[in-house]
Structure formats: structure tokens, C-alpha cells
Amino acid sequence: MYANPAAVLHPGIGARLPWWRIAFGSRLLMWLFELLKRTELLGRFALLAVVWVSLVHGLAVASPSTELRVVVPSLPSSAAAYSNYFPQLLALALEKTKGRDGPYRIEFFKGLLSSPRQVLELKNNSGLIDLIWDGSDKQREADLLPIRISLLRQLNDYRVFLIRAEDQEKFQNLRNLDELRQFSAGSGVNWPSTAVLRANGLRGETSTVYESLFGMLAAKRFDYFPRGLHEAWVEQQAHADKGLVVESSILLHYVVPVYFFVSRDRPELADRIERGLAIALKDGSFEALFQSIPSFKRGLAEIKANQRRIFELKPQQR
């Protein structure tokens, strides 16, 4: 299982050369050397060439495959309870392909990178990070190489609001998008969701730093913070001391799939991950991991309950 990320992010190098191949190779070399003693000069040169090729081949086979190192962004503290899922899913995909593609190692970048910085580093293939998970839009897919297997299904397509506790009644009385447009939303400066909000006439404030948005909401810089159904309750608990709650009556609906993204200079990495995810989908291990995340089950239950007014947003033009 992949419940403990620390247990899966540092797998071993992989299987060593079987004992029988080592023993066979040693006996073959002993035989060749014995034959060399009994052979004339010209024949000795030919046999030396054979011995040399055998040694080189043996060393190449005995060496472990080159280890794939994948550096991913560190996990923000407010999101740790659900964002562990993404490196676990990545490890699952790489594990499924280890037999064909070799061993791997996943490492977290030491320090926090803003969302714009993550995209920039990947776009430039700087080597600082190798992969991110993010919502997709036209610009993101122009800058980076998406692996088009949805990581969150419909969980990211429905949004509830984090709001200040004293504003609960104001939002409960809203009946349509025109009334919602009187309020200001908060979001990340380069998030695909931000473009969708703006395309639907929903004004707001942005930040390059995800963690800053909770303090901005508490400080009344904006009125509501749309969050995916897998995110909202975890984040509310992390910031309850700021007087933030989950709004109780509204769902925004718009489609923004979440994918893994890599540099466009790393198609071989994208191919391996895509193959691994496809295997995990087929054998059920993707589903098992998805269902093991408590906040995902909480979000799916919210959709199934169908107790909220749904405000439908038009998608951003792609």
C-alpha cells in the first residue's frame, strides 16, 4: 500500500544479477583462460578479444539499471492531508513500470516554490523540479507537457467556498450568479480556475503564494475562496483559528481537469508515467489509492448528497 509516502519515495535499486548467471559467467571465464594456455600466439589474441567482450558484457549486466530521480514540489502545510495523494500516485505509476524501465527515486524539493515559479522552472527544464500536478488550461498545456489522465475526476470540478464565519447568512441568501458577482473571490494568480472566474464576470484578488490567501480572506481582502471538494474541509480545519468556515449552501461547477505535467523536453518521463497510470487504472490500484484519501470520500459524499444550489460557470475558451 501507499498510505505512508515516506515508505514509497525511496525504493531500493532493484533486483541484482541472479546467482546462477554469476556462477555460469565465472566458469565460462575459467574455461577460456585454460584454453588460452594451450593456444598458439595468433589464437591467443582472438581468445583475449573474446574474454574482453565477455568481461565488459558481464559488468554491464551486473550493474543495476540507471535510477530515475524525480523531484516534485514540497507539500504546503495547509494541504498536506490530501496533497500526499499526488506523490503516492506518482510512485504507484513508476512502480508499475519498474520492471521495464528500471528503479526510481522521488524526492521533494527543499523549500516552497510559488505556482508561477513551478511552471517557469518546468518550462525551462532547469532541473530544479521534474513534475507538478495542477489544473489544466490552454496556456498550461502550451508551456508544459500534460499527461492527460485525470487525477481527481470530478472532485476539482465542483467548488465550495471558504468564507468568514460571520458572512454565512449573506451567502445562504444568494440565488444566482448575478448576486454572487457582488462579492469578491480569492485565487492564485496563475491558476486555471482564476481565468474561469474572470471569464464569468466574477471579480477578485489574487496572490502568487497559496498560503497567503487564507490570511487575505480573514483580513477581508476578498469575500470567498473557491476550493475543490477535496480541499475545503481540510483547509478549513487548518485555518479555523482565523474564523474561516465552509459555506453551507452553494456549489460552483466548471471543468478544470488536474493532470501531472512535466517539461516538454522530457517526453520519455511523460510516457513512463502515462503507461504506469494506465496499468494502475486497469488493475484497480489507482482506484484503491483514490478511495483511501478521507477528504476525497468527503467530497464525493457532498456531490452525492445534492443538497446545494449549483451555479454553473462557462468554461474558459481553449
- The CATH number of residue 166's host domain is 3.40.190.10
Assess if residue 92 is contained within a domain.
yes
Residue 65 — pLDDT band, cuts 50, 70, 90? low
Q: Could you tell me the pTM of the whole model? A: 0.79
Residue 57 — pLDDT band, cuts 50, 70, 90? very low
d(CA 118, CA 207): 15
Average pLDDT of every residue of the chain = 85
Nearest to 10 by CA among 118, 85, 104, 102: 104
Instruction: State CA 93 to chain mean position distance.
Output: 11
Same domain? For 121 and 238 the reply is no
Assess if residue 242 is contained within a domain.
yes
What's residue 49's pLDDT?
A: 47
Assess if residue 114 is contained within a domain.
yes
Same domain? For 135 and 269 the reply is yes
Same domain? For 215 and 245 the reply is yes
d(CA 216, CA 204): 12
- Give the count of domains, the chain: 3
Assess if residue 290 is contained within a domain.
yes
More confident residue, 30 or 176: 176
Same domain? For 196 and 248 the reply is yes
Same domain? For 43 and 122 the reply is no
d(CA 13, CA 18): 15
User: What angle, rounded to 10 degrees, do the helices at 267-283 and 85-96 form?
Assistant: 90
Give the containing element (helix H, strand E) for 251.
strand 250-253
Same domain? For 232 and 159 the reply is yes
Q: 260: which strand partners?
A: 133, 147
Domain that holds residue 203: 155-253
Assess if residue 221 is contained within a domain.
yes
Same domain? For 280 and 148 the reply is yes
Residues 6+ apart with CB under 8 A from 178: none
More confident residue, 56 or 164: 164
Assess if residue 103 is contained within a domain.
yes
Same domain? For 163 and 192 the reply is yes
Same domain? For 172 and 91 the reply is no
User: What angle, rounded to 10 degrees, do the helices at 41-62 and 19-37 form?
Assistant: 170
Same domain? For 140 and 278 the reply is yes
Place of cell 518550462: 123
Residues 6+ apart with CB under 8 A from 4: none
